[in-house]
Structure 1
Amino acid sequence: MSIKILICDDDKLIRESLKILLPLDSEIEVVAEASNGNEAIEMCNTKEIDVALIDIRMPELNGVEAVKEIAHRSNTKCLILTTFDEEIYVNEALKCGAKGYILKNNSPEQIIHAIKSVYNDTIVMNENILDKIKGKDCEPEISKYKFTERELDIIKAISEGLSNKEISGKLFISQGTVRNYITTILDKTDLKHRTQIAINYLKGKL
């Protein structure tokens, strides 16, 4: 089964290049393209799309707003692919439901790897972007939420970008138990999804 991809970028050359490069991997199938956020939302609402590659700055509707709507209305997972690495864009995109944030200077192989990771429920970010949002000399304030030792293990694993299956294998617990711990962590913190757990941990807010 192939991973069905939407490419959303206002630069036609970028779209055409990705349409050629991504399907070189047999597991990737580009099924739609869009030049702005509104078109991306429509595509995700009318087509079966697994992962949407979305730029940040676009006409009519930007990438952040598009991600917000797509995450709310569909099961499509959004991966930001852009040239802009400003902290405000990263934070807003992740807050709105993006499952990853990578830059266009990555190699095709790295972009394909990121697509597969997001498809398999793993958070993806370039190291320099992680450094931006993590800040310097941040130590997590773990006492605030009174996490158990196992909950902290889960939080740290999520922040490392591990999927539920990988966490299950690492901690020798079932995937169902992992999901239960994540639900408890979300309830304690009033966060909405696992990406927010990772970001808040890395920024020293958990």
Structure 2
Amino acid sequence: MRVVLVDDQKLVRQGFRLILAVEPDITVVGEAANGAEAVDVVRETAPDVVLMDVQMPVMDGIAATAKIREFSDVKIVILTTFDRDDYLFAALDAGASGFMLKNADAESLVAGLRQVADGHALLAPEVTRRVIARSSRLGKMATDSRIEQLTAREIEVAKLVARGLSNAEIAAKLVVSEATVKTHVSNCLMKCDLRDRVQLVALAYESGLIRVGETSAD
């Protein structure tokens, strides 16, 4: 996995680099101190994952994410403290592939990067709660018209994705092949005009497809 680190604090970048250096399957191929530099570094290095801070000089992480999305499908993980909803939802709209607490431990950081690189959504519980809270503030929402385009099986798969299950776990639960699950997920993204699983999770909560407190057994 090729990773680019983006943070305006050199000490933070060095800390992440040291954590990732001991992983045999992860290589840090570049660093950037602001969003503008990040855009250039991603163009030059073509990484698999970008670890992106939000508040930076010259160009912030959200603007950089949107700019990178214009020319690359690289997975972008936003580093945040979740103290501002506008950052969270702007990053979702810009095309972020996941969100990670800036004070996450080393094990969570590595696991999160691998999860995103494998194409899975990376939404910390804090993010999910924020999405649910926004839905609550907006009141009970009618079923999103995009959801209505999905088949019964695709809705079932979308619910399981929103509850955090991987493709393998969904396949086991539904007693189908993992390839079939991948097809259903791809169909959900295409029909709902979504970039990735993160946006599918957000849509599932915001549209009322699943409710807070539900489990995969519900």
| Secondary structure, aligned partner of 2:119 | coil
Deviation at 1:84, TM superposition (A): 4.3
Mapping of residues 115-154 of structure 1, within 5 Å = 115-135=113-133, 141-142=142-143, 144=145, 145-146=147-148, 147-154=150-157
Which digits, 9 at most, give the CA deviation of each residue in 1:58-109, with x for residues without a partner? 1111111111122231232100113344221111111111110111111111
Which digits, 9 at most, give the CA deviation of each residue in 1:12-48, with x for residues without a partner? 1101111111222222211110001111111111113
Mapping of residues 1-206 of structure 1, within 5 Å = 3-135=1-133, 141-142=142-143, 144=145, 145-146=147-148, 147-204=150-207, 206=209
Deviation at 1:173, TM superposition (A): 2.8
Deviation at 1:9, TM superposition (A): 0.2
Deviation at 1:141, TM superposition (A): 4.5
| Secondary structure, aligned partner of 1:73 | coil
Structure 1: unaligned runs, 5 residues or longer = none
Which digits, 9 at most, give the CA deviation of each residue in 1:110-138, with x for residues without a partner? 11111010001111122122101112767
Which digits, 9 at most, give the CA deviation of each residue in 1:164-197, with x for residues without a partner? 4443343233444334433443454343433222
Identity %: 32
**Which runs of 4 or more aligned residues in structure 1 lie more than 4 Å from their structure 2 counterparts after TM superposition?**
136-144
The residue type paired with residue 178 of structure 1 is V
Structure 2: unaligned runs, 5 residues or longer = 210-218
2:207 and 2:197 map into 1 onto residues whose CA distance is 15
| Change in 2 beyond 3 A, CA 1:114/1:85 | farther
| Change in 2 beyond 3 A, CA 1:39/1:155 | same
TM-score by structure 1 length?
0.86
TM-score by structure 2 length?
0.82
The residue type paired with residue 182 of structure 1 is V
The question of whether the paired residues in 2 share the 8 Å contact of 1:10 and 1:34 is answered with yes
1:21 and 1:192 map into 2 onto residues whose CA distance is 29
The question of whether the paired residues in 1 share the 8 Å contact of 2:52 and 2:76 is answered with yes
The residue type paired with residue 149 of structure 1 is A
Count of matched residue pairs: 204
2:208 and 2:88 map into 1 onto residues whose CA distance is 16
1:90 and 1:113 map into 2 onto residues whose CA distance is 21
